[in-house]
Amino acid sequence: MFAAHVSEVGHFGMPKILPPNSGEILPPERGLVSRLWSSLSPQARRKVAICGIAFPFAGLCFGLLLAALNQFFSLRGYTSVLASRIYLGLAFLAASLLALSISVALCALFEVKPRHRNLALVVVVLALAVLAILLDRAIPMPATVGIANTQGVRPSGWRVIQDWQKQRLGATLARYPGNTLRIIAASFSDEAWDYANQIKDVFRNHGWKVIGPETSPEDQSAIGVQLSVNQKYFGAGPPEAFLAVDSMLKSVDIKSPSSSPYVADPLVSPDELVIWVGANEPPGLPQGVPLRIASCQHPIAFTDSPMHFLDDKDSFGRLVKIKPPHSLFQAGDKMLVLLTGDAAAVTKVDSYQVQALGGSWPRPDALEVTIQKDFKPNEPLLMTVISNNELTVRCVEPR
């Protein structure tokens, strides 16, 4: 005998005998979402599926539209028309896809005929195109004001590198091509600035890489011509090329014969020779205090973006963002922006005025900025510096 149990009715109404310990497998109970989906008609399911895809895609397109418009206004305001138009095109594409996704969802919900939907979509896209064109024309680039750099007639009494000096110095420089010279104009006089540019031309014409002339802070003024090299050469002697330049500068009377050969400075690059050009040196004047490269004494915080080509491909632009030294900029405040090269122009706005230092011989690497009106608290000053060559901002100092 064996134990059995009745689980269901078999054929002819007779009970069906199952073996002991046999289990019965029941289907799992469906969830609420599954029961709701099953209760919908095929047409309603289609609408839900279309909206479930279209509306999230519309949200993504809306985010891309806002990001592209933000870049458009940023670039158009201070940088490049071409780059801003690229982002404007991306904004137009995102807006068109946004309109498409919304139209697909609405037409599925309200059962609009496809041809009516397509006609409405074409009208919306055309309207967006017109709006993009109007936006492009309504927001022009800021005007620029040039930095005067006209070379006038050199006044009498200014230093001039004579042809015989160029010839002798050039013979020495030609033996060491590829070396780097950094020129620092250690005086705010036009005469020193002009002499520094003459030295630049001589070195550059004989295969040297020349940086500058750059300006130095007002407390770093010099008399005559001085040289600086890296601190590691102290006691060991600088490279042969640097020693040869020092000897030849003294030989042709560009550098005082009584001055020290060079100054060791830890801030000078080991691969560079630095020439400081100061005011004209009267005969018999004792050598001044040797100068060392230094930053601004009371610097104002700033950031500057990488240089980028402008639309004409012949000049560069650099966006400079200067933070207020206190709580805000006020009308009448002045600051000095020192650059590593000559600025050709800057953006022209009503909130500030820019003037290159110098009188008859302007110095476009030192820009005096005058605030024209009160800024909002913590509002930065934004200025795009335009140049024919790459440059950076050395420092910003209050005046």
Does 117 score more than 80 pLDDT?
no
- Pick the more confident residue, 181 or 135: 181
Residue 13 falls inside a structural domain: no
Question: How many Cβ atoms sit within 10 Å of the Cβ of residue 186?
Answer: 26
What number is the average pLDDT over the span 227-246? 83
Residues 6+ apart with CB under 8 A from 374: 328, 329, 330, 331
To 10 degrees, the CA torsion angle through 162, 179, 364, 159?
Answer: -20
What number is the average pLDDT over the span 138-154? 63
Beta-ladder partners of 273: 181
308 three-state secondary structure: strand
- Does one domain contain both 123 and 169? no
- Does one domain contain both 238 and 335? no
For residue range 253-280, what is the model confidence (pLDDT) as tens digits? Answer: 888 776 677 787 777 788 888 888 888 7
For residue range 293-346, what is the model confidence (pLDDT) as tens digits? Answer: 655 667 888 888 777 776 656 677 888 899 988 888 899 998 888 887 788 888
What's the confidence (pLDDT) of residue 168? Answer: 92
Residue 318 falls inside a structural domain: yes
Residue 15 falls inside a structural domain: no
> Are 216 and 296 a contacting pair, CB within 8 Å?
no
Helix, strand, coil % over all residues of the chain, rounded to 5: 35, 25, 40
What number is the average pLDDT over the span 90-105? 85
Number of domains in the chain: 3
Residue 251 falls inside a structural domain: yes
What's the confidence (pLDDT) of residue 41? Answer: 65
Question: How many Cβ atoms sit within 10 Å of the Cβ of residue 388?
Answer: 13
What number is the average pLDDT over the span 364-372? 85
Angle at 87 between CA 83 and CA 92, to 5 degrees: 145
What's the confidence (pLDDT) of residue 288? Answer: 55
Q: Give the domain-ending residue among 88, 107, 141.
A: 141
d(CA 44, CA 61): 26
What's the confidence (pLDDT) of residue 103? Answer: 79
Residue 341 falls inside a structural domain: yes
d(CA 6, CA 381): 91
For residue range 237-256, what is the model confidence (pLDDT) as tens digits? Answer: 788 888 888 889 888 888 87
Beta-ladder partners of 275: 183, 227
* Residue 380 one-letter amino acid: P
For residue range 151-186, what is the model confidence (pLDDT) as tens digits? Answer: 557 788 888 989 999 999 999 999 999 999 988 887
Q: Give the domain-ending residue among 78, 106, 141.
A: 141
- Domain CATH code at residue 324: 2.60.40
- Pick the more confident residue, 183 or 79: 183
- Pick the more confident residue, 82 or 130: 130
Secondary structure (DSSP) of 159-199: ----HHHHHHHHHHHTTSTT-EEEEEE-S--HHHHHHHHHH
- Does one domain contain both 273 and 306? no
- Does one domain contain both 137 and 167? no
- Does one domain contain both 327 and 271? no
What's the confidence (pLDDT) of residue 284? Answer: 61
Residues 6+ apart with CB under 8 A from 174: 206, 207
> Is the CA virtual torsion 192, 195, 199, 204 positive or negative?
positive
Residue 288 falls inside a structural domain: no
d(CA 358, CA 336): 13
Does 150 score more than 50 pLDDT?
no
- Does one domain contain both 238 and 268? yes
- Does one domain contain both 272 and 307? no
> Are 371 and 352 a contacting pair, CB within 8 Å?
yes
Residue 228 falls inside a structural domain: yes
- Does one domain contain both 174 and 258? yes
- Lowest mean pLDDT segment, chosen from 4-18, 29-43, 77-91, 280-294: 4-18
Domain that holds residue 86: 40-141
- Pick the more confident residue, 369 or 141: 369
What's the confidence (pLDDT) of residue 163? Answer: 92
What number is the average pLDDT over the span 369-380? 90
- Does one domain contain both 360 and 319? yes
Which position has the token pair 């008399």? 223
Nearest to 195 by CA among 162, 161, 228: 161
Tokens of 253: 């009377």
Residue 364 falls inside a structural domain: yes
- Does one domain contain both 319 and 229? no
- Does one domain contain both 266 and 349? no
- Does one domain contain both 167 and 137? no
From the CA atom positions of the chain, what is the Rg in Å? Answer: 37
The mean pLDDT of the chain is: 77
Query: Checking DSSP bridges between strand 308-309 and strand 302-304, what pairing results, if any?
Result: unpaired
For residue range 13-64, what is the model confidence (pLDDT) as tens digits? Answer: 555 555 555 555 555 555 565 666 566 667 666 767 777 787 788 888 888 8
**H or E element in which residue 382 lies:** strand 381-387
